[in-house]
Structure 1
Amino acid sequence: MLKGELAISGRLLVGLQWSGNYPEETQFLMKRGSRCEVNGYFRIMSGARVGLAPGAVLSLGSGYINNEARITCMRRISIGENVAIGPYFKARDDDGHSISGAKDSAGIRIGDNVWIGMNVTVLKGVTIGDGAIIAAGAVVTKDIPSGMLAAGTPARPIRKAEWT
């Protein structure tokens, strides 16, 4: 259901399925006052659940997010150009609850030429630098510098990223 604003200068395809896979329900929900900006050719594969709160901005460059993604955008999530994100990806820029009396949210920025493996979680306030690689299963709680391979729970840079 779209109630927010789509600003598309590129192309957004939502709910695609890979050849040979079974179709899965995909949801893309934009609340009033939210905005999705698409600057390049971006694909969100089937089974994804994407939600934008009132006033939130989701900015997409080019690339794809694989099957079964979960994106909760309460403030701002930005995904750069030429980004490949594996299945079961999760990104949330808000705690969704209050522990000490104040709910906390902070944007997420994923740079250009980033590769994110399967089952990665990215939490609020994180920047993943250009050319970074995030290993499968990582939980990204702090910034990852450009050009680094990061792994673990919590994710930490372990060496320079090597693209082949």
Structure 2
Amino acid sequence: MAKKQYGFLINTKDCYGCRTCSMACKSENVTPPGVLWRRVREFNEDQPNAQAFITMSCNHCDDPQCLKVCPADTYTKREDGIVVQDHDKCIGCQMCIMACPYNAPVYDPVEGKTSKCNMCADRLDEGLKPRCVESCPTGAIEFGEIEDLRKKHTTNWALLEKRYGVPDHTISNPNIVIIGMED
């Protein structure tokens, strides 16, 4: 287990689906066409003209399934809990994609390899925030030590799993706090 564990807090009440976070991530990491490490999903609510958005990337899980299944030992978990990929080691088998309940790793068919969010580890090492957090115009994405984020708010996993189709959190123990529309 990491000494500390970084994570994200996503406030769906403040996200209006602009996808600035997704484009900032893409620009920062120079990902190829069609490869998005942070994606924004839209959910239509039961009421007319009501919708909710949730932005997701790698959750840097306590029990990362990508790390467990990769035959090339591409993934490691840093001391700060960030799950990073050695892209040069990737053999393109896509086992990580199949294993990740959150679909965080993304396959690039042109290069024949996968890649995923690294929580802007290089920026963090310089004392900066992840680009997605920095770019969000509404502050819907927060970053910090997961225990601090969990003190601010708890996640209603049962509701998220039922209503929004978020995968069972017990599979990998994601380091994310999600504030739902109902909270």
Which protein is richer in strand relative to its size?
A: 1
Which structure would you say has the larger Rg? 2
TM-score range, shorter chain: under 0.3
Between the two structures, name the one with larger relative contact order (CA 8 Å, sep ≥ 6): 2
- TM-score after normalising by structure 1: 0.22
- TM-score after normalising by structure 2: 0.20
